[in-house]
A and B are shown apart, each in its own frame.
Chain A
C-alpha cells in the first residue's frame, strides 16, 4: 500500500468510518420502525396469532421449513401456504391444516417425513391464524409465484 497513506489514516477510517455507518444504520432502523406498522398490519395480531407464533417456535418448524424465505430448505415455504393450500379462504385453510397435521407422519417410503407434533385442535387453529397473518405482511411481493 502506498507510503503516503499512513497507518493513522487507516485507523481513522476504521474507527470513524464504521462509527458513522453504524449511526446511519441506527437512523435507518428508526425510520423503518416508523414505516413498519403500515406494512406488517400489527393491528391484526390477535391473541391467537401470538399463540400461533409460540407453537411455531416451540416445535422448531423453522428447522425444516422457510418462512418468508428464511429457515431450512428441506420443506416448503409457509409464508404463503394460506394462499397455496387455503386458496385465500380462512375456513378452507384451517380445515386443510387440521387434516394435514393429523396425517403426519405420512410414512410414504423414502419420502421426507414430517413428525407428528400432537397439537390440539385449538393449537392448530392458532398456528393457522399465525400463518394467515404472516401471509398478509407486505414483503415486496415475494415469493415470485404460489409455489414459494
Chain B
C-alpha cells in the first residue's frame, strides 16, 4: 500500500460483504416462497423479502464502489486521500442509515413506514428498487456528495490518470442520476420514464464506467502491462458502453407508454450493448497474456478475468437474448428477466467488487503479494462455486421463463394458462434454482472462510 489513507477502504469492504450475506439469505427465503407460497409469509411477506434482497444488493455494491474508490484513487493520484476523517464519518452515516432502513422494512408494515417517515411531504416510496423512505434517499445523496467531494479533491491535487477520470465521471453520474428518484409525478408513464434515468442509467450507464475503471486498475497492478495500453482499452470500452447504453435505454420504453420509434431505437442500440462487454473479455485476457510480472496474488487475477467473462454472459448474452422488441414483447416481465438480472448483477457488479477486495484486502492486511497459498486455494474454490451456482440459477430461471412464455404468453386469450396456473407448472425449475441458491451460499461461506485461513502459513512470496 502506497498511502496510509488507503486503509479507510477496509471497513467499506467488510461491511459490504456482511450485507452481501444478508442479501443471499433473503434470496433463499424468496426462493422457498416461490415453491411453498406460505413459507414465513406471516413474518416476511414476499414483497418485504424482495425489497430487502434488492436494496441490500444496491447498498453493498455502493459500499464496494466506495471502498474501491478510497483504495485506488489515492494510489492513482499519487497523493494521500483528501480527508480520511470525512471518509470514516461517511462510512458510519451510511452504515447506520442502511441498517435502520432495512430494519424499518422488516419491523413495520410498509404503509406504516411511509407514514412514520413522512413520505407524504415528498412521496418517493413504493417504486421498485427505490423503496427507501425519502429521508433515507436524502441521506444517500448527502453520503454520495461527501464521497464524491473527497474523491474529487484527491484527484484535483494529484495525477489525473485515465482510471481516475473515468471513475470519477462514473461517480458523478451515479450521484446526479440518483436525483431522479425524487421525481415521482402522479402520471405513471412519466414516473416510469424517469425512474429508468436512475435504474438504467446506473446499471447500463455510469456503473459500467466504475466497473471499467476498477478492472483497469487491478489489471495494471497484477499484470504490470504498460498503463498507456490499458488506458486506451479503457477509453474505448467505456465509450462504447455509453454510446450503446444511453439510447439503449429505449429497450425499457417498449411497453410502458412512450411512442413506437423507441421499438427501433431501443432494439438497435441495446443490441450493441454486448460489444463493450465482449471487448472487456478480450482486454482482460490480452493483458494477462502480455503480463510483465507474475503477481503472487493469482486469485485476484482470476477474479478480474472472471468478472469480464461473467459480465459478458450476464449483461451481454442474456441481455441480448430478450432485447429485440419482437422478442421482448413475449419475454418482458417473465422469469427470463429475472434470469438476466441475476447473472448480470452478479457477473458485472458483485464480481468487480470481489475483484478489488481480492486484490486490495491482502495488501491492507500486510500481505503485499496476496494471501497464503492455502487461503488462495480456498478462495479459488469459492470463486468457482459461486460462479457455477449462479450460472445454475440463471439456467433454471431461463428454462422457467421459456416455459412461462410457452404456457402463458404465446397462446391466444382463452387458450393461455393463467399466471398462477403457469407458476404451478414451473415449480420443478424453482426447486433447481433454490438448490443452486444453497450451493451459492456454501460458496459464499467458503469465500468468507478464506479470509481466516492460512494466517500462520509462510507467505507465498517470502
Which residues of A are at the interface with B, using a C-beta cutoff of 8 A? 1, 5-7, 10-11, 13-14, 17-18, 21-22, 24-25, 28-29, 32, 35-36, 39-40, 42, 45, 49-50, 53-54, 56-64, 66-77, 105, 107, 109-113, 115, 117, 130, 133-134, 137-140, 142-148
Q: What residues on A are CB-neighbors of B228 within 8 Å? A: 7
* A77-B262 Cα distance, complex, nearest whole Å: 22
Q: Mark B258-279, 1 if CB is under 8 A from A, else 0.
A: 1110110100000000000000
Given contacts A39-B258, A40-B257, A145-B416, A1 and B232 within 8 Å (CB-CB): yes
A71 touches B128 (CB 8 A): yes
**Is the Cβ of B51 less than 8 Å from the Cβ of A60?**
yes
Closest chain A CB from B220 CB (angstroms)? 14
Given contacts A7-B235, A69-B333, A137-B189, contact A143 B128 (CB under 8 A): no
Residues in chain B near residue A59, CB distance under 8 A: 110-111, 126
The smallest beta-carbon distance between A16 and chain B, in angstroms, is 9
A72 near B50: Cβ-Cβ < 8 Å:
yes
Which residues of chain A come closer than 8 Å to B236, judged between CB atoms? 1, 10, 13-14
- Docked-complex contact B50 and A57, CB < 8 angstroms: no
Q: Rank and list the top 10 A-B pairs by shortest CB-CB distance, nearest first.
A: A63-B47, A57-B126, A69-B333, A112-B37, A10-B235, A142-B255, A18-B242, A14-B239, A76-B419, A146-B413
Known: A7-B235, A40-B189, A58-B125. A77 touches B419 (CB 8 A): yes
Given A22-B246, A63-B46, A77-B419, 7 more A-B residue pairs with CB atoms under 8 Å apart are A17-B243, A42-B187, A61-B126, A72-B128, A73-B337, A134-B188, A138-B257
- Nearest residue (CB) in B for A59 is B111
Contacting B257 at CB < 8 Å: which of A29, A77, A137, A147? A137
Name B293-347 residues within 8 Å CB distance of A. 329-330, 332-335, 337-338
23 example contacts (A-B, Cβ-Cβ < 8 A) are as follows A7-B232, A10-B231, A14-B238, A14-B242, A18-B243, A22-B246, A39-B189, A39-B258, A50-B186, A57-B123, A57-B125, A58-B110, A58-B114, A58-B125, A62-B127, A63-B51, A70-B256, A72-B46, A76-B419, A137-B189, A145-B416, A146-B416, A147-B419
Q: How far is the CB of A41 from chain B (nearest CB, A)?
A: 10
B23 within 8 A of A: no
B193 at the interface (CB under 8 A from A): yes
A46 to chain B, nearest CB (A): 10
Bound-state CA distance A148–B411 (Å) is 11
At the interface, yes or no: B78 with Cβ under 8 Å from chain A?
no
Given the contacts A53-B186, A58-B119, A112-B33, A117 and B232 also touching, CB distance less than 8 Å: no
B38-81 CB contacts (< 8 Å) to partner A: 38, 41, 45-48, 50-51
A17 contacts across to B, CB distance below 8 A:
239, 242-243
B235 touches A115 (CB 8 A): no
Residues of B near A58 (CB, < 8 A) are: 110-111, 114, 119, 125-126
> B188-208 vs A: 1/0 string, CB under 8 Å?
111011000000000000000
Most chain A beta-carbon contacts within 10 A, residue among B30, B126, B330, B333 = B333
CB distance from A98 to the nearest CB of B (A): 19
Interface flags for B160-192 (1: CB within 8 Å of A; 0: not) read 001000100000000000000000101111101
Interface residues of B (CB under 8 A from A): 30, 33-34, 36-38, 41, 45-48, 50-51, 110-111, 114, 119, 123, 125-128, 131, 162, 166, 184, 186-190, 192-193, 228-229, 231-233, 235-236, 238-239, 242-243, 246-247, 249, 253-260, 262-263, 265, 329-330, 332-335, 337-338, 408-414, 416-420, 422-423
State in angstroms the CA–CA spacing of A11 and B418 once bound together: 52
Whether the pair A45, B232 counts as a contact (CB closer than 8 A) is no
Which chain B residues border A45 with CB–CB below 8 Å?
186-187
CA–CA, A110 and B33, complex, Å:
9
A137 closest partner in B (C-beta): B257
Number of A-B contacts (CB under 8 A): 223
Checking B34, B126, B256, B265 against A74 with a beta-carbon cut-off of 8 angstroms, the contacting residue is B34
Nearest CB on B from A134, distance (A): 6
- Are B41 and A113 in contact, CB atoms less than 8 angstroms apart? yes
Known pairs A7-B232, A45-B186, A147-B408; A69 contacts B127 (CB<8 A)? no
Are B239 and A7 interface neighbours, CB within 8 A?
no
Query: In the bound complex, what is the Cα–Cα distance between A12 and B437 (angstroms)?
Result: 44
Would A144 and B410 count as touching, CB distance under 8 A? yes
Contact assessment for B255 and A139 in the assembled complex, using a CB-CB cutoff below 8 Å: yes
Considering only CB atoms, which chain A residue lies closest to B418 in the complex? A147
Closest to A14 in B: B239
The residues of B that contact A53 with a CB separation of less than 8 Å are: 186, 188
Closest residue on chain A to residue B195 by CB atoms: A70
Chain B neighbourhood of A29, CB < 8 A = 193
Q: Which of B48, B235, B256, B334 contacts A14 (CB 8 A)?
A: B235
* Interface contact B235-A63, CB-CB below 8 Å: no
Kindly provide the distance from the CB of B396 to the nearest chain A CB, expressed in whole angstroms: 14
- Partner pick for B246 among A21, A115, A134, CB 8 A cutoff: A21
Is the Cβ of B257 less than 8 Å from the Cβ of A60?
no
**Chain B residues near A5 (CB-CB < 8 A):** 232
Question: Is the Cβ of B128 less than 8 Å from the Cβ of A70?
Answer: yes
Q: For residue B333, which residues in chain A have a CB less than 8 angstroms away from its CB?
A: 66, 69-71, 73, 77
